[in-house]
Structure 1
Amino acid sequence: MTGPDAQSRPGPGPDPGTESMTRPDSGPMLSPGFWLHHAALTWRAELDARLRPLGLTPTQFMLLASAGWLEHVSGPPTQQQVADEAGADRMMTSRVVRTLQERGLLTRSPDPASPPSLRLSLTDAGRAVTRQATRAARDVDTLIFGDAAPHLRTSLRQIAESGGPTRVARPHRPGHP
Protein backbone atom coordinates (compact mmCIF):
# COMPACT_ATOMS: atom_id res chain seq x y z
CA MET A 1 0.00 0.00 0.00
CA THR A 2 1.19 3.46 -0.82
CA GLY A 3 -0.08 6.90 0.07
CA PRO A 4 -0.79 8.62 3.40
CA ASP A 5 -2.40 5.56 5.03
CA ALA A 6 0.73 3.45 4.55
CA GLN A 7 2.62 5.31 7.26
CA SER A 8 -0.13 5.05 9.88
CA ARG A 9 -0.59 1.29 9.65
CA PRO A 10 1.60 -1.13 11.55
CA GLY A 11 3.73 -3.29 9.37
CA PRO A 12 7.20 -4.67 8.96
CA GLY A 13 9.98 -2.46 10.15
CA PRO A 14 12.12 -1.86 13.18
CA ASP A 15 10.67 -2.63 16.57
CA PRO A 16 9.83 0.75 18.13
CA GLY A 17 11.41 -0.37 21.42
CA THR A 18 14.77 -1.01 19.78
CA GLU A 19 15.25 2.56 18.67
CA SER A 20 15.22 3.82 22.27
CA MET A 21 17.88 1.26 23.19
CA THR A 22 20.31 2.69 20.66
CA ARG A 23 19.70 6.39 21.26
CA PRO A 24 21.70 7.83 24.19
CA ASP A 25 18.94 10.34 24.95
CA SER A 26 16.08 7.91 25.59
CA GLY A 27 14.97 4.76 27.36
CA PRO A 28 17.26 3.20 29.95
CA MET A 29 20.15 5.36 28.74
CA LEU A 30 18.61 8.21 30.77
CA SER A 31 18.66 6.27 34.02
CA PRO A 32 21.61 6.79 36.38
CA GLY A 33 20.69 3.42 37.89
CA PHE A 34 21.17 1.74 34.51
CA TRP A 35 24.67 3.18 34.24
CA LEU A 36 25.47 2.48 37.90
CA HIS A 37 24.53 -1.16 37.32
CA HIS A 38 26.71 -1.42 34.21
CA ALA A 39 29.61 0.41 35.85
CA ALA A 40 29.37 -2.00 38.79
CA LEU A 41 29.44 -4.97 36.40
CA THR A 42 32.54 -3.55 34.68
CA TRP A 43 34.26 -2.85 38.00
CA ARG A 44 33.41 -6.29 39.41
CA ALA A 45 34.63 -8.13 36.29
CA GLU A 46 37.97 -6.30 36.41
CA LEU A 47 38.27 -6.85 40.17
CA ASP A 48 37.50 -10.55 39.71
CA ALA A 49 40.27 -10.85 37.11
CA ARG A 50 42.77 -9.15 39.45
CA LEU A 51 41.78 -11.19 42.52
CA ARG A 52 41.72 -14.58 40.78
CA PRO A 53 45.53 -15.04 40.96
CA LEU A 54 45.27 -14.42 44.72
CA GLY A 55 42.65 -17.16 45.04
CA LEU A 56 39.90 -14.74 46.09
CA THR A 57 36.50 -13.81 44.73
CA PRO A 58 35.26 -10.23 45.06
CA THR A 59 32.86 -11.36 47.80
CA GLN A 60 35.63 -13.11 49.73
CA PHE A 61 37.78 -10.00 49.39
CA MET A 62 35.01 -7.68 50.61
CA LEU A 63 34.39 -9.81 53.69
CA LEU A 64 38.09 -10.33 54.42
CA ALA A 65 38.88 -6.63 53.97
CA SER A 66 35.88 -5.63 56.11
CA ALA A 67 36.96 -8.01 58.88
CA GLY A 68 40.51 -6.67 58.71
CA TRP A 69 39.40 -3.03 58.78
CA LEU A 70 37.03 -3.52 61.70
CA GLU A 71 39.66 -5.51 63.59
CA HIS A 72 42.16 -2.70 63.00
CA VAL A 73 39.87 0.09 64.25
CA SER A 74 38.09 -1.60 67.15
CA GLY A 75 39.34 -5.14 67.78
CA PRO A 76 37.98 -8.45 66.50
CA PRO A 77 34.50 -7.85 65.03
CA THR A 78 31.54 -10.17 65.21
CA GLN A 79 30.57 -12.00 62.07
CA GLN A 80 27.41 -9.86 61.94
CA GLN A 81 29.46 -6.65 62.10
CA VAL A 82 31.52 -7.88 59.16
CA ALA A 83 28.35 -8.70 57.20
CA ASP A 84 26.97 -5.22 57.95
CA GLU A 85 30.23 -3.50 56.99
CA ALA A 86 30.40 -5.38 53.69
CA GLY A 87 26.67 -4.99 52.99
CA ALA A 88 26.38 -8.76 52.76
CA ASP A 89 23.65 -11.25 53.59
CA ARG A 90 24.08 -12.99 56.96
CA MET A 91 23.81 -16.56 55.61
CA MET A 92 26.12 -15.91 52.67
CA THR A 93 28.60 -14.27 55.04
CA SER A 94 28.56 -17.37 57.23
CA ARG A 95 29.33 -19.65 54.27
CA VAL A 96 32.10 -17.42 52.89
CA VAL A 97 33.68 -16.88 56.32
CA ARG A 98 33.72 -20.65 56.85
CA THR A 99 35.58 -21.03 53.53
CA LEU A 100 38.07 -18.30 54.49
CA GLN A 101 38.62 -20.03 57.83
CA GLU A 102 39.22 -23.39 56.11
CA ARG A 103 41.82 -21.68 53.91
CA GLY A 104 43.60 -20.34 56.99
CA LEU A 105 42.87 -16.67 56.23
CA LEU A 106 40.87 -15.93 59.37
CA THR A 107 39.79 -17.47 62.64
CA ARG A 108 36.37 -17.59 64.26
CA SER A 109 35.98 -17.81 68.00
CA PRO A 110 32.98 -17.50 70.33
CA ASP A 111 32.41 -14.04 71.77
CA PRO A 112 32.85 -14.37 75.57
CA ALA A 113 30.27 -11.62 76.13
CA SER A 114 27.71 -13.23 73.81
CA PRO A 115 28.40 -16.95 73.20
CA PRO A 116 26.21 -17.34 70.09
CA SER A 117 28.21 -14.57 68.38
CA LEU A 118 31.48 -15.31 66.65
CA ARG A 119 34.47 -12.95 66.66
CA LEU A 120 36.67 -12.90 63.57
CA SER A 121 40.40 -12.27 63.35
CA LEU A 122 42.61 -12.31 60.29
CA THR A 123 45.58 -14.65 60.38
CA ASP A 124 49.00 -13.53 59.17
CA ALA A 125 48.21 -15.18 55.82
CA GLY A 126 44.85 -13.38 55.76
CA ARG A 127 46.48 -10.01 56.39
CA ALA A 128 49.06 -10.65 53.66
CA VAL A 129 46.51 -11.61 51.00
CA THR A 130 44.24 -8.73 52.07
CA ARG A 131 47.10 -6.26 51.53
CA GLN A 132 47.71 -7.67 48.04
CA ALA A 133 44.00 -7.70 47.22
CA THR A 134 43.55 -4.13 48.48
CA ARG A 135 46.34 -2.96 46.16
CA ALA A 136 44.62 -4.76 43.29
CA ALA A 137 41.26 -3.15 44.18
CA ARG A 138 42.84 0.31 44.30
CA ASP A 139 44.40 -0.31 40.89
CA VAL A 140 40.98 -1.30 39.54
CA ASP A 141 39.43 1.86 41.02
CA THR A 142 42.09 3.98 39.31
CA LEU A 143 41.64 2.13 36.01
CA ILE A 144 37.84 2.28 35.99
CA PHE A 145 37.08 5.59 37.72
CA GLY A 146 40.23 7.65 37.15
CA ASP A 147 39.98 11.30 38.12
CA ALA A 148 36.23 10.95 38.79
CA ALA A 149 36.88 8.66 41.79
CA PRO A 150 36.74 11.31 44.56
CA HIS A 151 33.49 12.82 43.26
CA LEU A 152 31.93 9.39 42.65
CA ARG A 153 32.95 8.17 46.11
CA THR A 154 31.30 11.19 47.73
CA SER A 155 28.10 10.90 45.68
CA LEU A 156 27.76 7.13 46.04
CA ARG A 157 28.48 7.26 49.76
CA GLN A 158 25.78 9.90 50.28
CA ILE A 159 23.28 7.75 48.40
CA ALA A 160 24.25 4.56 50.26
CA GLU A 161 24.22 6.18 53.69
CA SER A 162 20.90 7.96 53.15
CA GLY A 163 19.16 4.66 52.56
CA GLY A 164 17.10 6.28 49.82
CA PRO A 165 13.34 6.65 50.05
CA THR A 166 12.93 3.33 51.85
CA ARG A 167 15.34 4.54 54.54
CA VAL A 168 17.33 1.33 54.74
CA ALA A 169 20.35 3.26 55.95
CA ARG A 170 23.60 1.48 56.64
CA PRO A 171 24.52 1.12 60.30
CA HIS A 172 27.18 3.33 61.87
CA ARG A 173 30.57 2.00 60.88
CA PRO A 174 33.46 2.34 63.33
CA GLY A 175 36.34 4.31 61.91
CA HIS A 176 34.13 6.06 59.35
CA PRO A 177 33.04 9.67 59.90
Structure 2
Amino acid sequence: MTPMPTAADDSPGFLLWRVTLRWQRAVTAVLAPLGLTHVQFVLLASTWWLNTQGEHPNQLSIARHADTDVKMTSQVLRKLEEKGLVVREVDPGDTRARRLRLTPQGQELAQRAVTEVERADTEFFRSVPDSTGLIAMLRPLASMS
Protein backbone atom coordinates (compact mmCIF):
# COMPACT_ATOMS: atom_id res chain seq x y z
CA MET A 1 0.00 0.00 0.00
CA THR A 2 1.26 3.46 -0.91
CA PRO A 3 1.74 5.69 2.12
CA MET A 4 -0.56 8.70 2.40
CA PRO A 5 1.24 11.94 1.47
CA THR A 6 2.05 14.15 4.43
CA ALA A 7 1.59 17.33 2.36
CA ALA A 8 -0.76 18.19 -0.51
CA ASP A 9 2.23 18.93 -2.75
CA ASP A 10 3.36 15.31 -2.28
CA SER A 11 0.12 14.02 -3.83
CA PRO A 12 0.46 13.36 -7.59
CA GLY A 13 -3.29 13.67 -8.05
CA PHE A 14 -3.46 17.04 -6.32
CA LEU A 15 -0.45 18.32 -8.27
CA LEU A 16 -2.01 17.12 -11.53
CA TRP A 17 -5.23 18.92 -10.58
CA ARG A 18 -3.38 22.21 -9.99
CA VAL A 19 -1.27 21.88 -13.16
CA THR A 20 -4.35 21.05 -15.22
CA LEU A 21 -6.23 24.10 -13.97
CA ARG A 22 -3.27 26.41 -14.70
CA TRP A 23 -2.82 24.90 -18.16
CA GLN A 24 -6.55 25.17 -18.94
CA ARG A 25 -6.50 28.87 -17.99
CA ALA A 26 -3.56 29.44 -20.35
CA VAL A 27 -5.31 27.64 -23.22
CA THR A 28 -8.64 29.37 -22.56
CA ALA A 29 -6.87 32.74 -22.74
CA VAL A 30 -5.47 32.08 -26.23
CA LEU A 31 -8.74 30.61 -27.53
CA ALA A 32 -11.03 33.41 -26.33
CA PRO A 33 -9.96 35.89 -29.05
CA LEU A 34 -10.65 33.18 -31.63
CA GLY A 35 -14.21 32.72 -30.34
CA LEU A 36 -13.67 29.12 -29.24
CA THR A 37 -14.15 27.36 -25.94
CA HIS A 38 -11.61 24.73 -24.97
CA VAL A 39 -13.92 21.82 -25.80
CA GLN A 40 -14.90 23.43 -29.13
CA PHE A 41 -11.20 23.70 -29.93
CA VAL A 42 -10.52 20.05 -29.05
CA LEU A 43 -13.36 18.79 -31.24
CA LEU A 44 -12.52 21.18 -34.09
CA ALA A 45 -8.84 20.18 -33.93
CA SER A 46 -9.70 16.48 -33.72
CA THR A 47 -11.88 16.79 -36.82
CA TRP A 48 -9.15 18.76 -38.59
CA TRP A 49 -6.45 16.20 -37.70
CA LEU A 50 -8.58 13.30 -38.88
CA ASN A 51 -9.63 15.18 -42.06
CA THR A 52 -5.96 15.87 -42.87
CA GLN A 53 -5.40 12.10 -42.68
CA GLY A 54 -8.05 11.63 -45.38
CA GLU A 55 -10.73 10.54 -42.93
CA HIS A 56 -14.32 11.74 -42.77
CA PRO A 57 -15.03 10.74 -39.19
CA ASN A 58 -18.44 10.42 -37.65
CA GLN A 59 -19.39 11.92 -34.29
CA LEU A 60 -18.59 8.71 -32.43
CA SER A 61 -15.07 8.51 -33.85
CA ILE A 62 -14.48 12.18 -32.94
CA ALA A 63 -15.68 11.49 -29.38
CA ARG A 64 -13.35 8.49 -29.16
CA HIS A 65 -10.42 10.47 -30.59
CA ALA A 66 -10.96 13.31 -28.10
CA ASP A 67 -12.08 11.00 -25.26
CA THR A 68 -15.25 13.05 -24.77
CA ASP A 69 -18.82 12.15 -23.93
CA VAL A 70 -20.74 11.22 -27.10
CA LYS A 71 -23.84 13.29 -26.29
CA MET A 72 -21.80 16.35 -25.34
CA THR A 73 -19.70 15.88 -28.50
CA SER A 74 -22.86 15.93 -30.62
CA GLN A 75 -24.06 19.14 -28.94
CA VAL A 76 -20.71 20.91 -29.38
CA LEU A 77 -20.40 19.78 -33.00
CA ARG A 78 -23.89 21.15 -33.64
CA LYS A 79 -22.68 24.49 -32.24
CA LEU A 80 -19.60 24.39 -34.49
CA GLU A 81 -21.91 23.68 -37.41
CA GLU A 82 -24.04 26.72 -36.49
CA LYS A 83 -20.84 28.81 -36.54
CA GLY A 84 -20.13 27.59 -40.09
CA LEU A 85 -17.00 25.68 -39.09
CA VAL A 86 -18.15 22.07 -39.50
CA VAL A 87 -20.44 20.30 -41.93
CA ARG A 88 -22.32 17.28 -40.59
CA GLU A 89 -23.46 15.05 -43.46
CA VAL A 90 -25.53 11.88 -43.32
CA ASP A 91 -23.26 8.85 -43.67
CA PRO A 92 -24.42 6.93 -46.77
CA GLY A 93 -23.46 3.67 -45.05
CA ASP A 94 -25.42 4.42 -41.86
CA THR A 95 -28.15 7.04 -42.05
CA ARG A 96 -28.12 7.41 -38.24
CA ALA A 97 -24.50 8.58 -38.30
CA ARG A 98 -23.15 12.00 -39.30
CA ARG A 99 -19.81 12.32 -41.10
CA LEU A 100 -17.85 15.44 -40.34
CA ARG A 101 -15.66 17.71 -42.37
CA LEU A 102 -14.45 21.20 -41.78
CA THR A 103 -15.55 24.10 -43.93
CA PRO A 104 -12.77 26.26 -45.40
CA GLN A 105 -13.44 28.71 -42.53
CA GLY A 106 -13.21 25.82 -40.04
CA GLN A 107 -9.93 24.61 -41.55
CA GLU A 108 -8.40 28.07 -41.31
CA LEU A 109 -9.60 28.58 -37.73
CA ALA A 110 -8.46 25.10 -36.68
CA GLN A 111 -4.95 25.76 -38.01
CA ARG A 112 -4.78 29.16 -36.29
CA ALA A 113 -6.10 27.70 -33.04
CA VAL A 114 -3.70 24.74 -33.09
CA THR A 115 -0.81 27.14 -33.67
CA GLU A 116 -1.89 29.34 -30.76
CA VAL A 117 -2.48 26.41 -28.41
CA GLU A 118 0.87 24.84 -29.32
CA ARG A 119 2.52 28.19 -28.61
CA ALA A 120 0.73 28.34 -25.24
CA ASP A 121 1.81 24.76 -24.51
CA THR A 122 5.43 25.60 -25.32
CA GLU A 123 5.30 28.58 -22.98
CA PHE A 124 3.47 26.69 -20.23
CA PHE A 125 5.79 23.67 -20.28
CA ARG A 126 9.03 25.61 -20.86
CA SER A 127 10.16 24.95 -17.28
CA VAL A 128 10.02 21.18 -17.85
CA PRO A 129 13.60 20.16 -18.66
CA ASP A 130 12.67 17.03 -20.63
CA SER A 131 9.48 17.50 -22.64
CA THR A 132 10.06 14.16 -24.39
CA GLY A 133 10.06 12.47 -20.99
CA LEU A 134 6.90 14.34 -20.02
CA ILE A 135 5.12 13.14 -23.16
CA ALA A 136 6.33 9.58 -22.53
CA MET A 137 4.94 9.80 -18.98
CA LEU A 138 1.58 11.24 -20.09
CA ARG A 139 0.92 8.83 -23.00
CA PRO A 140 0.12 5.75 -20.86
CA LEU A 141 -2.00 7.87 -18.52
CA ALA A 142 -3.99 9.24 -21.48
CA SER A 143 -4.64 5.76 -22.87
CA MET A 144 -5.90 4.22 -19.65
CA SER A 145 -9.50 3.05 -19.88
TM-score (norm 1): 0.75
Which of these two proteins has the greater Rg computed from alpha carbons?
A: 1
| Structural mapping, 1:6-155, within 5 Å | 26-146=6-126, 147-155=129-137
Residue matched to 1:160: 142
Q: Counterparts of 1:112 and 1:158 in 2: how far apart (Å)?
A: 36
| Between 146-155 and 131-140, the greater mean CA deviation after superposition | 146-155
Structure with more contact order per residue of length (Cα contacts < 8 Å, sep ≥ 6): 2
**Identity fraction in percent:** 37
CA RMSD of aligned residues (A): 1.3
Q: 1:26 offset after TM fit, Å?
A: 2.5
1: distance between equivalents of 2:35 and 2:13? 31
Aligned length: 139
In the TM superposition, what is the alpha-carbon distance from 1:152 to its structure 2 partner?
1.3
Distance (Å, rounded) in 2 between the aligned partners of 1:45 and 1:123: 28
User: Which residue identity lines up with residue 62 of structure 2 in the other structure?
Assistant: V
Aligned structure 1 segments of 4 or more residues deviating by more than 4 angstroms: none
| Structure 2 runs not aligned, ≥5 long | none
